[in-house]
């Protein structure tokens, strides 16, 4: 135990000293990024309080299922976000769209009910105004919420429920910087979250470097010749990199809140917890990569590449919407899981969404450390 | 015996890095392990300290069989690794303190020992500085300080003088002798034969994973050469001189360069008096003279047919 503390203490000191490179960068860089991105991209996020999006609605369904969609559109949560205009024909709708009176069209085709019940790709068509990407994204997300409900219902039908009830989900709304409460983060609020998450992910570099230097090679080998056990050495190293990255998190949280006035919501403890879990995850990732590659250069290249990718698909640099199935690869991005959990916490999204994301992160943590342990056994020659 | 190595074998793939090595090291000795690059010196040390997984064989330290991690034994061993292993972002004192703590020291004892280790390696005045700013020699000395802070019974030094200035080198060699006087056993690896020759009472010579010779330095030198070489620098020499010297029965060969006379004789033949007489008789003047005795270098050369540093 004493030896673990010794390792933590000196690794910590060492990391603090290494100001020129990492630590300063890890605090100054994200703050600068939040500021720059937040300011320059603010037009995309210009609405703080979202005014309803005007949509044209054409329902040609011959069955009964579309009734549920009508009900869905009338739900208070939805009508706050969508101003629905009934239209008589697609042409009329497209005309209004061109004129800019509408931001999007929702079209249910004649076979809508049949499709839903048969399990086909039920046809809710959304056409967006080409210059109003965000508006279109909002509509798509809301409709997606309905479709997940429809899928659930279909499942119930398959399982023999006679009276299907639609389970509308709204949690998914927070996939985009839109919350079910109708509040939307400003660009600074958005980038404060995504950049914090990104910088935590870069924390993987700390642990991979720490493992290379202080466990696998050089000083690490030397430490192994002292009475400390490998377990103690490993634990000490892991804890010290978690500690140092977490301290950066706290500084960034405080700075963005007090200086930039970023909204971190009412439940700061939850935000800190999510951040902590992500710090541990990033750390596990770094340890894993270090153990698997056994090479500092390779590790840092891999981690850098992964963080860029993971940040990108999570919409960390700018909000993105991937087509179809590709959307699911976002769940492989720790950034995405953490961001979703954080946005849902700040903007009062559903709690189960937060828990789901945390559970995903914990699974990844366990996987990383297990792979690291297996790789380590192999690495000792 | 403080260290006993029996039938130690270690392979890396097809490469037999340590090939059936047997060594016994007595307490209180400075034991030299001499060998060229890749001989297997570091591998043996890593096997002693449990850094490398055993192939086969047996190692006993302090009469305990080494089998995986053993904190109690490690506490009494200090290792100076071949590659400098210190933190550049911790001061000299912090580096030594950290290792002191890992070896189980604390409180006043720790503070005192850190001071002693730094003073011992001549770094006490730079204790608060970062090794980043140190010369290669100073880093090497700090590398040693970290290994001796806990005053271990057994100190293992793996080429501690590679690539450093003569002054630091001298300092390090003196500290090895001093540690020895204080009662520590030292295992010292090197490919500088002068060093090993100067320091070590027992020497093992390694090549390609095998111990090719071991014994005291005298014993080893006995193994080689049956001849000695005498170099004499002189003025006014002529060929009658060469003729006369060649007639001395023990002389095997004599040659004259511009101002240098080289004589090869049988070992311990004590002919110098006679040679000088002949030189003065021919009217030449001796400026300087050098007798070259066999070295470990020549031992190695004889045993393997190659030089230590290639
Ligand atoms: N981790 C390793 N993996 C594979 N081969 C290795 C490894 N470590 C050492 N070897 C091989 O084992 C042999 C002995 O190497 P070792 O480092 O023990 O030599 P050495 O006598 O210490 O040489 P030097 O004077 O260069 O330090 C070499 O052929 C080397 O290539
Ligand atoms: Mg070596």
CA distance A3 to chain B (A): 6
Residue of A nearest to B132 (CA): A18
Q: Which two tokens stand for residue B14?
A: 């097809």
Residue of B nearest to A3 (CA): B102
Q: Which of B166, B199, B222 is the last residue of a domain?
A: B222
Query: Is the Cα dihedral A295, A298, A303, A306 positive or negative?
Result: negative
For ligand 1, whether the C-beta of A17 sits within 6 Å is: no
**Cβ contact, residue pair B99, A226, below 8 Å:** yes
- Counting residues of chain B whose pLDDT is more than 90, the rounded percentage is 42
User: Are B154 and B244 found together in one domain?
Assistant: no
Residue B57: which H helix or E strand, with range?
strand B56-61
Distance of alpha carbon B147 from alpha carbon B77, whole angstroms: 8
Mutate to test the interface with A, among B11, B61, B76, B89 (most CBs of A within 10 A): B89
pLDDT of residue A282: 97
Ligand 1 atom closest to Cα of B41? 21
Query: Is the Cα dihedral B95, B100, B102, B107 positive or negative?
Result: negative
**Is residue A153 within 8 Å of residue A166, measured between CB atoms?**
yes
Q: What is the pLDDT of residues A303-329, one digit of tens each?
A: 999 999 999 998 888 877 777 777 788
Q: What is the pLDDT of residues A177-214, one digit of tens each?
A: 333 333 445 677 888 899 899 999 999 998 998 888 88
| Residues A89, A97, A190: CA angle, nearest 5 degrees | 130
User: Are B140 and B248 found together in one domain?
Assistant: no
Mean pLDDT of B75-101: 94
Give the domain CATH number at B100: 3.40.50.300
Residue B302 lies in a domain: no
pLDDT of residue A380: 64
Distance of alpha carbon A198 from alpha carbon A314, whole angstroms: 10
Contacts of B90 (CB under 8 A, 6+ apart): A10, A13, A14, A17, B98, B130, B131
Residue B140 lies in a domain: yes
pLDDT of residue A142: 76
Question: What's chain A's Rg over C-alpha atoms?
Answer: 24
User: Are B149 and B234 found together in one domain?
Assistant: no
Domains of chain A: 2-45+181-379 (no CATH), 53-173 (3.40.1710)
User: Are B109 and B195 found together in one domain?
Assistant: yes
Identify which of A48-52, A103-107, A265-269, B144-148 has the greatest average pLDDT: B144-148
For chain B, the average pLDDT equals 87
How far away, in angstroms, is B72 Cα from ligand 2 center? 26
Residue B236 lies in a domain: yes
For ligand 1, whether the C-beta of B39 sits within 6 Å is: yes
**Is residue A237 within 8 Å of residue A11, measured between CB atoms?**
yes
Q: Whose CA is nearest to atom 9 of ligand 1?
A: B43
User: Are B35 and B184 found together in one domain?
Assistant: yes
Residue B300 lies in a domain: no
pLDDT of residue A166: 44
B129 and chain A in contact, CB less than 8 A: no
How far away, in angstroms, is A74 Cα from ligand 2 center? 78
User: Are B240 and B163 found together in one domain?
Assistant: no
User: Are B141 and B286 found together in one domain?
Assistant: no
Look at chain B and report how many structural domains it folds into: 2
pLDDT of residue A177: 37
Nearest residue to B271 via CA among B244, B236, B237, B238: B244
Beta-strand pair B251-256/B227-235: unpaired
Nearest residue to B204 via CA among B294, B81, B303, B73: B303
How far away, in angstroms, is B38 Cα from ligand 1 center? 5
For ligand 1, whether the C-beta of B81 sits within 6 Å is: no
ipTM for the predicted complex: 0.78
Q: Which of B167, B202, B222 is the last residue of a domain?
A: B222
Residue B70 lies in a domain: yes
Beta-strand pair B77-80/B154-158: parallel
Distance of alpha carbon B125 from alpha carbon A190, whole angstroms: 53
Q: Is the pLDDT of residue A269 over 90?
A: yes
CA distance B265 to chain A (A): 50
End-to-end CA distance of chain B: 34
For ligand 1, whether the C-beta of B12 sits within 6 Å is: yes
User: Are B271 and B178 found together in one domain?
Assistant: no
Mean pLDDT of B32-41: 90
Q: Is the pLDDT of residue A273 over 60?
A: yes
Residues 33-52 of B with CB under 8 A from A: 49-52
Q: What is the pLDDT of residues B9-29, one digit of tens each?
A: 999 888 999 999 999 999 999
Identify which of A7-21, A153-167, B196-210 has the greatest average pLDDT: B196-210
Higher per-residue pLDDT: A124 or A6: A6
Residue B298 lies in a domain: no
For ligand 1, whether the C-beta of B121 sits within 6 Å is: no
pLDDT of residue A174: 32
Q: Is the pLDDT of residue A160 over 60?
A: no
Q: Which two tokens stand for residue A261?
A: 């006035």
Domain that holds residue B57: 3-222
Mean pLDDT of B288-293: 79
pLDDT of residue A178: 38
Distance of alpha carbon A342 from alpha carbon A324, whole angstroms: 24
Give the domain CATH number at B245: 3.30.70.100
User: Are B194 and B288 found together in one domain?
Assistant: no
When mean pLDDT is compared across A111-125, A339-353, B91-105, the lowest value belongs to A111-125
Mean pLDDT of A141-167: 56
Continuous H helices in chain A: 2-17, 24-40, 66-74, 76-79, 90-99, 112-118, 133-158, 187-202, 204-211, 218-224, 230-258, 268-293, 296-313, 334-346, 351-379
Q: Which of B197, B222, B247 is the last residue of a domain?
A: B222
Sheet containing B251-256: give its strands across.
Answer: B251-256, B260-266, B227-235, B285-292
Higher per-residue pLDDT: A2 or A160: A2
User: Are B142 and B212 found together in one domain?
Assistant: yes
Distance of alpha carbon A197 from alpha carbon B214, whole angstroms: 62
User: Are B31 and B172 found together in one domain?
Assistant: yes
User: Are B55 and B119 found together in one domain?
Assistant: yes
CA distance A253 to chain B (A): 28
Q: Is the pLDDT of residue B232 over 50?
A: yes
């Amino acid at each position: 135990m004493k030896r673990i503390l010794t390792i933590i203490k000196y690794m910590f000191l060492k990391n603090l000293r290494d100001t020129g490179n990492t630590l300063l960068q890890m605090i100054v860089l994200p703050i600068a990024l939040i500021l720059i991105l937040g300011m320059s991209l603010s037009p995309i996020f210009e609405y703080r309080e979202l005014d309803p999006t005007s949509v044209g609605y054409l329902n040609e369904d011959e069955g009964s299922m579309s009734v549920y969609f009508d009900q869905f559109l009338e739900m208070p949560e939805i009508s706050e976000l969508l101003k629905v205009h009934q239209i008589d024909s697609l042409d009329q709708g497209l005309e209004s769209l061109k004129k800019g009176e509408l931001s999007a069209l929702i079209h249910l085709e004649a076979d809508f009910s049949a499709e839903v019940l048969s399990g086909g790709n039920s046809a809710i068509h959304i056409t967006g105004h080409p210059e109003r990407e965000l508006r279109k994204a909002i509509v798509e997300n809301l409709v997606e919420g309905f479709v997940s409900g429809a899928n659930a219902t279909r499942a119930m039908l398959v399982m023999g429920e006679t009276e299907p009830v639609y389970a509308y989900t709204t949690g998914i709304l927070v996939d985009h910087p839109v919350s079910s409460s109708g509040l939307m983060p400003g660009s600074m609020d958005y980038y404060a979250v995504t950049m914090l998450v990104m910088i935590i992910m870069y924390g993987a570099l700390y642990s991979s470097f720490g493992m290379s230097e202080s466990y696998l090679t050089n000083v690490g080998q030397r430490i192994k010749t002292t009475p400390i056990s490998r377990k103690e050495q490993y634990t000490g190293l892991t804890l010290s990199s978690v500690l140092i990255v977490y301290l950066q998190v706290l500084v960034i949280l405080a700075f963005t809140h007090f200086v930039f006035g970023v909204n971190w919501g009412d439940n700061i403890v939850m935000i800190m917890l999510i951040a902590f879990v992500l710090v541990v995850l990033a750390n596990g990732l770094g340890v894993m990569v270090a153990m698997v590659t056994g090479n500092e250069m390779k590790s840092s290249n891999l981690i850098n590449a992964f963080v860029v990718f993971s940040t990108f698909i999570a919409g960390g640099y700018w909000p993105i919407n991937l087509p179809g199935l590709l959307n699911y690869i976002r769940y492989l991005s720790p950034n995405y899981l953490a961001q979703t959990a954080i946005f849902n916490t700040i903007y009062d999204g559903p709690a189960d969404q937060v828990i789901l994301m945390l559970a995903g992160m914990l699974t990844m943590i366990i996987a990383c450390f297990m792979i690291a342990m297996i790789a380590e056994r192999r690495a000792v020659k | 015996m403080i260290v006993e190595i029996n039938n130690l074998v270690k392979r890396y793939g097809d490469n037999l890095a340590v090939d059936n090595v047997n060594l016994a090291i007595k307490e209180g000795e400075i034991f030299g392990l001499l060998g060229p690059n890749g001989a297997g010196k570091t591998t043996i040390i890593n096997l002693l300290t449990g850094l490398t997984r055993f192939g086969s064989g047996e190692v006993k330290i302090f009469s305990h069989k080494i089998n995986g991690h053993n904190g109690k034994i490690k506490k009494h061993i200090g290792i100076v690794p071949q590659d400098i292993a210190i933190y550049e972002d911790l001061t000299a004192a912090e580096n030594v303190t950290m290792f002191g703590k890992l070896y189980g020291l604390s409180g006043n004892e720790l503070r005192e020992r850190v001071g002693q280790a730094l003073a011992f390696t001549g770094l006490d005045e730079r204790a608060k500085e970062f090794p980043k700013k140190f010369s290669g020699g100073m880093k090497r000395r700090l590398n040693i300080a970290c290994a001796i802070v806990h005053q271990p019974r057994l100190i293992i030094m793996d080429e501690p003088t590679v690539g450093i200035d003569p002054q630091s080198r001298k300092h390090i060699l003196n500290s090895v002798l001093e540690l020895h006087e204080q009662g520590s056993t030292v295992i010292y690896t090197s490919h500088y034969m002068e060093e090993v020759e100067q320091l070590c009472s027992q020497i093992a010579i390694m090549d390609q994973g095998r111990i090719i010779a071991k014994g005291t330095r005298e014993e080893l030198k006995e193994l080689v050469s049956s001849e000695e070489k005498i170099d004499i620098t002189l003025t006014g020499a002529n060929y009658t001189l060469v003729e006369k010297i060649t007639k001395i029965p023990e002389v095997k060969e004599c040659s004259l360069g511009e101002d240098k006379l080289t004589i090869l004789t049988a070992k311990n033949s004590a002919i110098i008096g006679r040679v000088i007489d002949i030189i003065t008789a021919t009217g030449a003047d001796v400026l300087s003279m050098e007798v070259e005795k066999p070295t470990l270098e020549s031992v190695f050369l004889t045993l393997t047919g190659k030089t230590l540093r290639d």
